[in-house]
């Protein structure tokens, strides 16, 4: 799944608060969940430390989330686009820790865990929110919670804070204290130092187990807090309170009266472009409304909603423009910050809608979205914000795409199209035409994730055909089309909601620096790169431990390994953090040894961008940055109540222990002031599981005695093991001296200086189609032909001929070996066309009759501008185009008849030709089938069974026959089969017809007997006026006729079967069965007995003794039909077969003459549709025979009128043509068995 961050939301979840949690087996663990949007559309105002779901990749993917797994392009480590289950742009949500304090003895023995984001760029991390918890570490089981994340969002720095007095509060109490600090000497032995702090209790909210907090920042002292009681059984919010502080969190005022005393609030949103604009969403179970504030939550206006919001997407620049996705798959837009909404589009895929990007899209109000067409098809369309009509829609991709595959990210657009079970990934750069992504030929990806798209290139994680738990990293050129291998076998795992997590972390502040966990020989090791994946190496372990003892760890057998991933896999117990404002400083948890483990985890720090590491804690801590990295704050992850934190002013070399409260507190989270400066923090927690929320405001300003000056800074040279040239540049940074304790403030800048380096071989990576050998050189892969790279050339023009190398994207080196490794410009060669491809835009080999089919033609090699393309559609039509570029949008064609067509594309120029063939199956929808079979059959005599299709021609069809009690079916390609029934009784017959993705069936029950007689019946004309010609009516009338015959003749019920035949005029047939007790099974007695019964019935019929009342005033008389002189069917062997055939022929001819001349009807289609000959549907009445399925809406639709039939025989095509709907006649004839 390729994911683009829509929104930001965070929540710290108390796992023990949820139903079914086993407190005795597991220590309570707070789960931090959040979604983070891109920088331009962020709604989160805090940085979350603690247990989370993962983190995002790259500058534009800086967040974490849950995920959907049905997508082909999947999320990289916690992509926020993959968490559509809750509204987005919500501010951090904390969920309180509610474990009983009497479990403390169990918690004390628990080893501690902390998790922080993985695959996170570290960019735009300006606010701080931390969630804390601990979990038991098991030595037998390596897997652990996947809900471990860290979120950061933007907000400018603040400076010059003025202490403010306590303001009045509607509810709560406040305790303030301020005591002098004292410097401690090390991490092992400390005297207690105290911080300036105040505590406020949210009185009345002791039952609330969740909170969402927003700190406006931007020189504002306003903090909003929404507390809620979330019922895990009902999965909804049942109570809520809204609190507001105007003094940096020292005191809070309850605002329930301002929003409505009975109003239940579920989410809090903030405009990413104007933090003063607040949006509150009510619980839709009670009411569906929005409350909007434009003054930082001081006042609100309520607006009713007609839909339920699932997610929001704010415009990256326009503060009032919002997109909202509803529960019924509709996309709404508002240009008034939610005050008014209008529908943009229906059937929109969840989280597959994007705002336009300035400089790339033509209009600022353009929306990119994916709309669902069917279960397996979707379309990529563009729409205008307030005018999304069919006339204004754009379709940038020609054809259908796979559902949930559209991603618009930075300057790239990605879609997927699956053909013959294989996905094809397409990319568009700078909104240009779509081109298939070119991975190495035999990569054969099972899964693909786009990790990042910054710096004008794509980083993708690909799971290849022979991988199960690891991914290979590939990097593209600037076009996003051509990919080369960067690192193999990167560790991955499945997140809590199915999202794939990849162990890749982009270090903030250092361009081109990444950390990754690679699996080698079943061991996971951490690697580092300084040149965007061109070269990787292991991390050198610290030389000494926390207590100064030597560590004996020799590369490559032993190294430092870091926890980069934060999901449910064996290697996710740690945290990692870096900042733009503190380049070179990385804090992470990990272990030392031959591989990454979950035991003996400690916290490590580097001050020189990964060259040297130091151990700072032997337990797991959350580390926050103060004053743009000038100081570090560490808070222990523990299930116990705490009242201390640790401070370091020298990049973690020395730590001081401070108390922040007099009463130990179960810490649920920490909110830092927005901005990199971060000198005020609020700790959220409670003193017991029944207490109200305790908010401890900590003001760190008092521990700094002055502002920093130039003498407090020093220079630092970035290097990689002594090499100062990284990404072609020598970089020198300014950082604070370890001995300086001063406030840098918002005016501080890194002030980086740089100088260009001469290019070396290390500044170039292998080009597409080339692989790095053991000697470090790039040479062509066995499958690659270098000449193929010139396929876009036009004769007379030039192209860049690859040397096998390409400069690493964003590398700024000059001169040196640049000429030797840079592609050389050459004249385009004249080539014959080669590598011609022909596919449909949907990527399938089927099409529907009467609809447009779009053919796409691609040429791999040859002069496309001078190569003509001829496309023969196989139905007598063909088109020729002068060059390949003229058919980039595809070639459309409509097939008017069903069939299999041989479509041929031929490319030709002066040097040769190339031909490719595609066999296209054109079909139409199978609507109905009818099984034509006799109702009575003679034992051991062959019977013909015919399946009649409607329409008669639908393409390639498979027939599956289930006859009698056979457990194995008979499968044929023909619509008729012959069979015999060896036993008397009722034999069921079922036929299933498979046409494309449609399977229909019909079923009949055949009465099998040794002997029987039958005769046709006719009726008085008034019956036709009341005949609707439906199966149920025929069944009911058959029963009435049978009863009338029994009453008139005293024939036994079990010896008589009656079936009314389909069509008009109304006809029927009766069947006489022998009485085996009277005939003793002897043929002579049986024949005589049946003759006697036939005479009785015919006599009654000829005397008009058989009548019935259809309805009051409608008396119907039943007659014996006299269409021919044919006698009753005799099944004895004494009759001549030839004679019987002549008699049967007479019946057929007589019936045809009768139909044509008496009823002015003509049997249609006998020369056109062979299947129609046996479509006669019959019904019979017997207690042992089940009711048959009803036919289509009108069986009379299956024939044509007499007036149009003669011309149609020679003029109309075979296909999905509907017959005349006014003719009431069936072509079916009764079946006689001899």
Beta-sheet strands, E only, within 924-1053: 928-932, 936-938, 943-950, 958-963, 970-972, 976-979, 985-995, 998-1009, 1013-1019
Question: Looking at residues 234-253, what average pLDDT do you find?
Answer: 89
**Per-residue pLDDT for 54 more than 60?**
no
Contact 472, 97 (CB under 8 A): no
pLDDT of 248: 85
Tell me the average pLDDT across 548-555: 92
- What's the CA gap between 518 and 527, in Å, rounded? 7
pLDDT attached to residue 190: 46
Please state, in angstroms and rounded to a whole number, the distance separating the CA atoms of residues 696 and 176. 10
pLDDT of residue 1044: 93
Compute the average pLDDT of residues 811-835: 84
Mean pLDDT of 956-972: 90
Among 254-268, 651-665, 790-804, 827-841, whose mean pLDDT is lowest? Answer: 790-804
Is 139 or 1015 the better-scoring residue by pLDDT? Answer: 1015
pLDDT of 154 > 70? The answer is no
pTM: 0.67
Taking only the tens place, the pLDDT of each residue in 1125-1184 is: 333 344 433 333 333 333 444 444 444 434 333 333 333 322 222 222 233 333 333 333
More confident residue, 333 or 787: 333
The pLDDT of residue 1171 is 29
Q: What is the mean pLDDT of residues 815-824?
A: 88
pLDDT at position 170: 33
- What is the arithmetic mean of pLDDT over 147-159? 31
pLDDT of residue 1174: 33
Q: Which of 1183, 1209, 931, 1234 is nearest to 1062 (CA)?
A: 931
Question: Who has greater pLDDT, 315 or 51?
Answer: 315
Lowest mean pLDDT among 114-128, 695-709, 814-828, 1055-1069: 114-128
Rounded Cα distance, 285 and 656, in Å: 50
The span from the first CA to the last CA of the chain, in angstroms, equals 66
Question: In what side-by-side order are the strands of the sheet with 1067-1072?
Answer: 1056-1061, 1067-1072, 1013-1019, 1114-1120, 1107-1111
How far apart are alpha carbons 1146 and 1040 in whole angstroms?
30
Q: What is the C-alpha to C-alpha distance for residues 31 and 134, in angstroms, rounded to an integer? A: 10
Q: How far apart are CA 540 and CA 721, in angstroms?
A: 10
Please state, in angstroms and rounded to a whole number, the distance separating the CA atoms of residues 628 and 631.
Answer: 8
pLDDT at residue 51 above 70? no
Closest to 998 in 3D by CA, of 951, 1035, 1045: 951
User: Quick count: other Cβ atoms within 10 Å of Cβ 1062?
Assistant: 25
The more confident residue out of 807 and 1157 is 807
Rounded (5°) CA angle 925-930-931: 135
Q: What is the pLDDT of residues 760-769, one digit of tens each?
A: 999 999 999 9
Q: Residue 211: which H helix or E strand, with range?
A: strand 210-215
Looking at the predicted structure, is the pLDDT value of residue 561 above 90? yes
Q: Give the mean model confidence (pLDDT) for residues 946-956.
A: 87
Q: How confident is the model at residue 1223 (pLDDT cuts 50, 70, 90)?
A: very low
pLDDT of residue 90: 53
- 689 falls in which pLDDT band (50, 70, 90)? confident
Least confident of 97-101, 305-309, 353-357, 713-717: 97-101
Judge contact between 643 and 664, C-beta under 8 A.
yes
Q: Which residue has the higher pLDDT, 261 or 563?
A: 563
Top-confidence residue, 335 or 85: 335
Lowest pLDDT segment from 42-56, 310-324, 344-358, 817-831: 42-56
Q: Mean pLDDT in the chain?
A: 74
Residue 676: its pLDDT value, please?
Answer: 60
Q: Count CB-CB contacts under 10 A for residue 65.
A: 37
Closest alpha carbon to 926 in 891, 958, 967, 889: 958
The highest-confidence range among 74-78, 339-343, 455-459, by mean pLDDT, is 339-343
As a whole number of angstroms, the distance between CA 1108 and CA 1110 comes to 6
What is the pLDDT averaged over residues 409-419? 90
- Quickly state the pLDDT bin for 801 (edges 50, 70, 90): confident
Q: Which pLDDT value is given to residue 976? A: 93
pLDDT at 690: 79
Q: How confident is the model at residue 191 (pLDDT cuts 50, 70, 90)?
A: low
- Give residue 972's region: left, alpha or beta (phi > 0; psi -120 to 50): beta
- What pLDDT sits at residue 181? 36
Residue range 1190-1208, pLDDT digits in tens? 443 333 333 333 233 233 3
φ, ψ for residue 580, nearest 5 deg: -65, -40
* Burial class, 877, CB count within 10 angstroms (exposed 0-12 / middle 13-18 / buried 19+): exposed
pLDDT of amino acid 218? 65
Confidence check: pLDDT of 623 > 70: yes
**Would you say residue 226 has pLDDT above 50?**
yes
Span of 183-197, 663-677, 708-722 with lowest mean pLDDT: 183-197
The 3-state secondary structure of 837-889, one letter per residue: EEEECCCCCEEECCCEEEEEEEEEECCHHHCEEEEECCCCCEEEECCHHHHCC
pLDDT mean over 567-572 = 31
Q: Is the pLDDT of residue 1234 over 80?
A: no
Q: What integer pLDDT is reported at residue 95 of this predicted model?
A: 60
pLDDT value of residue 428: 93
Judged against a pLDDT cut of 90, whether residue 562 lies above it is answered with yes
Q: In the predicted model, what is the mean pLDDT of residues 603-622?
A: 92
* 8 A C-beta contact, residue 592 and residue 84: no
pLDDT at 234: 84
The whole-angstrom separation of Cα 116 and Cα 149 is: 5
């Amino acid at each position: 799944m390729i994911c683009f961050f829509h929104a930001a939301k965070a929540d710290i979840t108390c796992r023990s608060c949820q139903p079914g949690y086993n407190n005795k087996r597991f220590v309570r663990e707070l789960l931090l969940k959040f979604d983070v949007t891109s920088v331009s559309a962020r709604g989160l105002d805090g940085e979350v430390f603690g247990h989370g779901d993962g983190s995002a990749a790259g500058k534009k993917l800086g967040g974490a989330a849950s995920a959907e797994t049905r997508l082909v392009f999947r999320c990289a480590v916690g992509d926020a686009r993959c968490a559509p289950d809750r509204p987005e742009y919500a501010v951090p949500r904390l969920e309180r820790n509610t474990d009983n304090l009497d479990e403390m003895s169990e918690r004390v023995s628990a080893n501690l865990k902390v998790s922080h984001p993985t695959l996170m760029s570290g960019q735009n991390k300006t606010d701080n929110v931390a969630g804390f918890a601990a979990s038991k570490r098991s030595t037998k089981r390596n897997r652990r919670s996947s809900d471990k994340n860290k979120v950061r969002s933007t907000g400018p720095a603040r400076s010059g804070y003025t202490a403010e007095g306590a303001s009045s509060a509607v509810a709560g109490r406040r305790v303030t204290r301020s005591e002098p600090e004292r410097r401690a000497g090390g991490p092992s032995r400390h005297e207690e130092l105290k911080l300036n702090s105040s505590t406020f209790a949210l009185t009345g909210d002791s039952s609330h187990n969740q909170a969402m907090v927003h700190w406006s920042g931007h020189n504002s002292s306003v903090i909003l807090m929404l507390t809620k009681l979330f019922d895990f059984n009902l999965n909804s919010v049942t109570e809520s309170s809204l609190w507001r502080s105007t003094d940096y969190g020292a005191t809070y005022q309850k605002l329930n009266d301002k929003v409505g005393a009975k109003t239940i609030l579920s989410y809090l949103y903030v405009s990413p472009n104007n933090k003063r604009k607040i949006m509150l969403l009510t619980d839709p179970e009670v009411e569906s409304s929005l409350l909007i504030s434009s003054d930082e939550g001081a006042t609100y206006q309520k607006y009713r909603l007609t839909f339920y919001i699932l997610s929001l997407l704010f415009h990256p620049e326009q503060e009032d423009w919002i997109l909202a996705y509803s529960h019924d798959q509709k996309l709404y837009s508002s240009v008034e910050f939610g005050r008014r909404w209008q529908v943009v589009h229906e059937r929109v895929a969840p989280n597959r809608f994007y705002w336009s990007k300035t400089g790339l899209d033509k209009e600022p109000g353009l929306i990119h979205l994916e709309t669902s067409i069917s279960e397996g098809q979707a379309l990529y369309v563009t729409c205008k914000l307030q005018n999304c009509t069919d006339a204004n829609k754009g379709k940038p991709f020609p054809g259908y795409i796979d559902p949930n595959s559209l991603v618009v990210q930075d300057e790239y657009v990605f879609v997927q199209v699956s053909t013959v079970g294989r996905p094809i990934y397409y990319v568009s750069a700078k909104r240009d035409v779509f081109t298939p992504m070119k991975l190495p030929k035999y990569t054969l990806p099972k899964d693909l994730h786009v990790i990042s798209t910054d710096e004008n290139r794509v980083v993708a994680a690909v799971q290849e055909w022979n991988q199960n738990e690891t991914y290979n990293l590939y990097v593209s050129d600037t076009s996003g089309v051509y990919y080369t291998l960067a690192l193999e076998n990167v560790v991955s795992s499945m997140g809590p909601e199915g999202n794939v997590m990849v162990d890749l972390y982009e270090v903030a502040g250092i361009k081109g620096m990444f950390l990754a966990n690679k699996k080698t020989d079943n061991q996971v090791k951490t690697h580092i790169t300084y040149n965007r994946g061109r070269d990787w190496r292991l991390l050198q372990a610290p030389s000494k431990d926390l207590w100064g003892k030597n560590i004996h760890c020799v590369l490559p057998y032993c190294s430092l390994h870091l926890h980069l991933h934060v999901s449910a896999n064996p290697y996710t117990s740690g945290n990692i953090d870096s900042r733009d404002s503190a380049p070179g400083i990385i804090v992470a948890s990990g272990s030392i040894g031959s591989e990454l483990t979950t035991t003996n985890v400690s916290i490590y720090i580097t001050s020189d961008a990964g060259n040297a590491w130091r151990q700072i804690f032997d337990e797991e801590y959350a580390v926050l940055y103060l004053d743009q990295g000038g100081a570090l704050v560490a808070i222990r992850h523990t299930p116990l109540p705490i009242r201390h934190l640790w401070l370091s002013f020298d990049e973690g070399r020395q730590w001081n222990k401070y108390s922040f409260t007099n009463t130990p507190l179960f810490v649920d989270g920490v909110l830092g002031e927005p901005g990199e400066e971060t000198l005020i923090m609020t700790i959220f927690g409670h003193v017991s599981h029944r207490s109200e929320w305790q908010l401890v405001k900590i003001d760190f300003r008092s521990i700094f005695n002055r502002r920093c000056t130039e003498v407090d800074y020093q220079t630092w040279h970035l290097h990689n093991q002594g090499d100062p040239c990284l990404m072609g540049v020598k970089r020198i940074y300014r950082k604070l001296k370890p001995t300086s304790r001063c406030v840098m403030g918002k005016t501080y800048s890194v002030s980086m200086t740089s100088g260009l380096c001469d290019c070396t071989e290390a500044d170039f990576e292998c080009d597409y189609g080339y692989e790095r050998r053991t000697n470090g050189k790039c040479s062509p892969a066995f499958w690659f032909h270098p000449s193929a790279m010139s396929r876009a050339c036009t004769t007379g023009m030039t192209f860049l001929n690859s040397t096998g190398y390409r400069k690493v994207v964003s590398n700024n080196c000059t001169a040196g070996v640049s000429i030797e490794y840079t592609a050389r410009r050459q004249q385009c060669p004249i080539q014959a066309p080669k590598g011609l491809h022909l596919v449909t835009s949907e990527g399938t080999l089927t099409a529907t009759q009467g609809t447009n089919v779009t053919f796409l033609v691609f040429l791999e090699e040859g002069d496309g501008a001078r190569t003509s393309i001829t496309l023969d559609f196989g139905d007598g039509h063909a088109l020729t185009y002068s060059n390949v570029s003229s058919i980039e949008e595809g070639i459309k064609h409509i097939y008017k008849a069903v069939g299999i067509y041989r479509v041929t594309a031929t490319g030709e120029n002066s040097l040769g030709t190339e031909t490719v063939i595609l066999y296209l199956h054109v079909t139409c929808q199978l609507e109905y089938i009818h099984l034509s079979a006799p109702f009575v059959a003679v034992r051991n005599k062959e019977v013909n069974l015919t399946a009649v299709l409607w329409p008669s021609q639908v393409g390639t069809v498979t027939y599956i026959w289930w006859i009698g009690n056979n457990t194995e079916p008979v499968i044929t390609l023909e619509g008729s089969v012959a069979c015999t029934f060896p036993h008397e009784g009722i034999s069921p017959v079922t036929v299933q017809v498979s046409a494309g993705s449609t399977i229909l069936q019909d079923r009949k029950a055949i009465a099998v007997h040794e002997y029987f007689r039958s005769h046709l019946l006719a009726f008085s004309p008034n019956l036709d006026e009341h005949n609707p010609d439906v199966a149920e009516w025929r069944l009911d009338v058959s029963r009435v006729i049978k009863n009338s015959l029994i009453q008139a003749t005293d024939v036994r019920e079990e010896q008589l079967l009656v079936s009314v035949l389909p069509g008009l005029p109304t006809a029927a047939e009766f069947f006489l069965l022998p009485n085996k007790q009277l005939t003793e099974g002897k043929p002579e007695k049986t024949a005589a007995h049946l003759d006697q019964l036939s005479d009785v019935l015919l006599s009654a019929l000829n005397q008009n003794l058989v009548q019935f009342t259809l309805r009051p005033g409608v008396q119907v008389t039943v007659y014996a039909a006299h269409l021919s002189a044919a006698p009753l069917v005799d099944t004895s062997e004494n009759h001549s077969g030839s004679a019987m055939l002549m008699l049967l022929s007479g019946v057929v001819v007589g019936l045809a003459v009768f139909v044509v001349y008496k009823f002015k009807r003509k049997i249609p289609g006998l020369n056109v549709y062979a299947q129609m000959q046996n479509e006669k549907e019959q019904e019979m009445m017997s207690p042992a025979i089940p009711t048959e399925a009803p036919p289509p809406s009108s069986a009379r639709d299956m024939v044509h009128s007499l007036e149009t039939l003669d011309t149609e025989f020679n003029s109309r095509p075979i296909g999905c043509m509907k017959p005349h709907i006014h003719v009431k006649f069936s072509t079916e004839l009764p079946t006689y068995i001899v």
